[in-house]
Amino acid sequence: MAGATTLAGSRSPEPDGVRATPTVADGRGHFRPDIEGLRAVAVGLVFADHVFGWPAGGFIGVDVFFVISGFLITSLLVRERARTGRISFRGFYARRARRLFPAAFLTLAATTAAAWFVFLGGRFQETVTDVVWAALFGANINFARQGTDYFEATAAPSLVQHFWSLAVEEQFYLVWPALILVAFALPAVRARHRAAPPEGAGTRTVALVILLGTVTAASFAWSVHATSASPVTAYFSTFTRAWELGVGALVAVTATQLHRVPAPVRAALAWIGLGAVVSAAFLIDDGTSFPGTAAALPVLGTAALVAWGATPGGPGTRWLLSSAPAGFLGAISYSLYLWHWPVLILAGALVLPGSAVFYAGVVGASLLLATFSYYCVEQPVLHTNWLLPHRPIQPARARPVFRRARTVGLGAVVVTVAVVATVVVAPWGDGGDARAEAARAAEQADAERAELGLPPLTPLQRDIQAATFATEWPADLEPSLDELPGYLKKQWDQGCLHISESNVDRCRSGDPAAPRSLVVLGDSFAAAWIPGLSEELVPAGWSVESLTFGLCPNITAMTLFEGQPFEACPEHREWAIERILEQRPDVVVLSHSWRAQLEDGVDRRELYLDGLTQVVRRVQASGAEVVILGAPPGSESLQDCPTGLNRPTDCLRGPADSFFPQVESEQLVAAATGVRAIDPQQWFCYDGVCPTFVGNTPVYGDGQHLTAEYARRIAPDLVTAILQP
Residue range 520-541, pLDDT digits in tens: 999 999 999 999 999 999 999 9
Rounded CA-CA distance 171/182 in Å is 18
Q: What is the dihedral of CA 145, 148, 150, 154, to 10 degrees?
A: 80
- Weakest mean pLDDT among 354-358, 413-417, 422-426: 422-426
Banded pLDDT at 182 (limits 50, 70, 90): confident
| Residue 702 contacts residue 660 (beta carbons within 8 Å) | no
Tell whether the model's pLDDT for residue 650 goes beyond 70.
yes
Query: What is the rounded average pLDDT of the residues 632-652?
Result: 89
| Residue 378 contacts residue 17 (beta carbons within 8 Å) | yes
Rounded CA-CA distance 48/51 in Å is 5
Tell whether the model's pLDDT for residue 26 goes beyond 90.
no
CATH class of 487-723: alpha beta
Tell whether the model's pLDDT for residue 154 goes beyond 60.
no
Q: Which amino acid is at 377?
A: V
Query: What is the rounded average pLDDT of the residues 633-662?
Result: 91
Rounded CA-CA distance 41/330 in Å is 8
Indicate the angle between helix axes 238-253 and 201-229, nearest 10 degrees.
Answer: 150
Tell whether the model's pLDDT for residue 240 goes beyond 80.
yes
Bigger pLDDT: 442 vs 623 = 623
Q: Where are the alpha helices (DSSP H) in 254-355?
A: 255-258, 263-283, 296-308, 318-321, 324-331, 333-350
Tell whether the model's pLDDT for residue 429 goes beyond 90.
no
| Residue 141 contacts residue 125 (beta carbons within 8 Å) | no
Mean residue pLDDT of the chain comes to 86
Indicate the angle between helix axes 356-373 and 89-118, nearest 10 degrees.
Answer: 140
pLDDT tens-place string over residues 546-595: 999 999 999 999 999 877 899 999 999 999 999 999 999 999 999 999 98
Query: What is the rounded average pLDDT of the residues 667-680?
Result: 98
Please name every residue paired with 518 in a beta bridge, in sequence order, or none if there are none.
Answer: 544, 587
Tell me the CA distances in angstroms from 172 to 67, 144, 169, 348, one per residue in order. 13, 17, 5, 33
Banded pLDDT at 2 (limits 50, 70, 90): very low
Mind giving me the DSSP string for 332-399? THHHHHHHHHHHHHHHHHHS-TTSHHHHHHHHHHHHHHHHHHIIIIIHHHHTS-TT-TTSPP-HHHHH
Distance between terminal CA atoms of the chain?
48
Strands 693-694 and 697-698 turn out to be antiparallel
Question: To the nearest 5 percent, what fractions of the chain are helix, strand and coil?
Answer: 60, 5, 35
pLDDT at 82: 86
Q: What percent of the chain has pLDDT over 70?
A: 84
Bigger pLDDT: 204 vs 462 = 462
Rounded CA-CA distance 648/99 in Å is 43
How many Cα atoms occupy the beta-carbon half-sphere of 149 within 13 Å? Answer: 16
- Weakest mean pLDDT among 14-23, 287-296, 691-700: 14-23
Tell me the CA distances in angstroms from 342 to 80, 157, 161, 335, 544, one per residue in order. 37, 10, 9, 12, 46
**112 alpha-carbon distance from chain centroid:** 18
pLDDT at 207: 85
Domain ranges, ordered by start, for the chain:
33-316, 487-723
Bigger pLDDT: 687 vs 154 = 687
Rounded CA-CA distance 401/395 in Å is 10
Element (H, E) at 681: none
Tell whether the model's pLDDT for residue 348 goes beyond 90.
no
pLDDT at 275: 97
Tell whether the model's pLDDT for residue 22 goes beyond 50.
no
Rounded CA-CA distance 204/220 in Å is 24
Tell whether the model's pLDDT for residue 484 goes beyond 90.
no
Tell whether the model's pLDDT for residue 152 goes beyond 50.
no
**606 alpha-carbon distance from chain centroid:** 30
**Main-chain dihedrals φ then ψ at residue 550, nearest 5 degrees:** -55, 140
Please name every residue paired with 521 in a beta bridge, in sequence order, or none if there are none.
Answer: 547, 590
Q: What percent of the chain has pLDDT over 90?
A: 63
How many Cα atoms occupy the beta-carbon half-sphere of 274 within 13 Å? Answer: 21
Indicate the angle between helix axes 238-253 and 61-84, nearest 10 degrees.
Answer: 50
Q: Which of 36-45, 204-213, 494-503 has the highest mean pLDDT?
A: 36-45
| Residue 393 contacts residue 383 (beta carbons within 8 Å) | yes
* C-alpha dihedral sign at 258, 262, 267, 268: negative
pLDDT tens-place string over residues 109-125: 999 999 998 988 788 88
pLDDT at 422: 53
Q: Which of 9-23, 132-146, 575-589, 646-660 has the highest mean pLDDT?
A: 575-589
Bigger pLDDT: 200 vs 454 = 454
Rounded CA-CA distance 80/86 in Å is 7
| Residue 445 contacts residue 457 (beta carbons within 8 Å) | yes
| Residue 723 contacts residue 541 (beta carbons within 8 Å) | no
pLDDT at 163: 97
Q: What is the dihedral of CA 481, 483, 488, 490, to 10 degrees?
A: 180
Rounded CA-CA distance 723/629 in Å is 12
Q: Which of 25-34, 254-263, 495-504, 559-568 has the highest mean pLDDT?
A: 495-504
